[in-house]
Amino acid sequence: MRVICLVPSLTETLIECGVEVVGRTRFCIHPVDKVKAISVVGGTKNVDWDKCKTLKPDIVVFDREENPKEMADSCSFKWHATHITSVDNIADELRKLADIVESPQLLEMADKWSELASKPNLKTIDWANIPAQIETIGNNKVSYKHIEYIIWRDPWMAVNANTFIGSMLQKFGFTEHLISHKKSYPELTQEQMNDPETFYLFSSEPYPFSRHKEFLIESGFNGAIVDGEVYSWFGIRSYLALNEFYQ
């Protein structure tokens, strides 16, 4: 089955599960050795449907959190939209997708996710060894009252517990420390970003915080820059990272 996938994390997962992906977004960068041969048809928020037509897809894959509804509305091909919101619902969503793209390997991945999701959240945190940490920021203490996962700057944006990232944080043991927000991706004021009792996790993507380490240090933050792909790329990448952490 010929698949165009407009969801970077699912593109990687589909390829690794042996699915024929013929079209991708420019943000679909994994697996590096295989995506180079796959046509780029746009981004996660826009797509060149004329280019897609030349690829003769059997199905176009979207995700409701990743892609705007307008993209699906404008799609003239058969399409399917996943709605992956947490570690707990990813198995069911992957099973639906596996059935549509006829992939036994993807179905196996769904079963593995189901087993992993059933494991209890970790209860202790090693503040000096945060999962997927790239480098530390500031003068870190032994422990903190709060955790804030930051995905953007200007304006500052965080995530709440009811997101896939939030569910990963809870699996890693941060449940009691997560700051409560009503919105899934709230904007934070500068005052909210100056709490000495908060440990800030700056994601490497979508905002490239790895390039702005000096700014973060000069601003007085305590925390770490973390690999955002581990926390937000639902599918095989987050599975492998979380599974390894449970070993």
Q: Write the pLDDT tens digit of every residue in 25-67.
A: 999 999 999 999 999 999 999 999 999 999 999 999 999 999 9
For residue 125, tell me if it sits in a domain: no
* Domain harbouring 16, CATH code: 3.40.50.1980
For residue 240, tell me if it sits in a domain: yes
169 plus 89 within the same structural domain:
no
93 plus 8 within the same structural domain:
yes
Picking from 92, 117, 142, the residue at the C-terminal end of a domain is 117
Report the 3 state secondary structure along 33-95. HHHCCCEEEECCCCECHHHHHHHCCCEEEEECCCCCHHHHHCCCCCEEEECCCCCCCHHHHHH
- Quote the percentage of the chain above a pLDDT of 70: 100
Give the predicted TM-score (pTM) of the model: 0.94
140 plus 241 within the same structural domain:
yes
Picking from 52, 84, 117, the residue at the C-terminal end of a domain is 117
Determine the structural domain holding residue 95 and report its residue range: 2-117
83 plus 144 within the same structural domain:
no
For residue 145, tell me if it sits in a domain: yes
For residue 128, tell me if it sits in a domain: no
CA atoms within 13 A on the CB side of 29: 5
Asked whether residue 140 carries a pLDDT value surpassing 80, the answer given is no
Each residue's pLDDT tens digit, 102-137: 999 999 999 999 999 999 998 878 888 899 999 999
User: What residues contact residue 167 under an 8 Å CB cut-off, 6+ apart?
Assistant: 85, 86, 87, 88, 161
User: What residues contact residue 239 under an 8 Å CB cut-off, 6+ apart?
Assistant: 109, 112, 113, 116
The number of angstroms, rounded, from the C-alpha of 230 to the middle of its chain's C-alpha atoms is 7
Confidence of residue 145 (pLDDT cuts 50, 70, 90): very high
Domains of the chain: total = 2
Mean pLDDT in residue range 184-211: 94
Picking from 65, 90, 117, the residue at the C-terminal end of a domain is 117
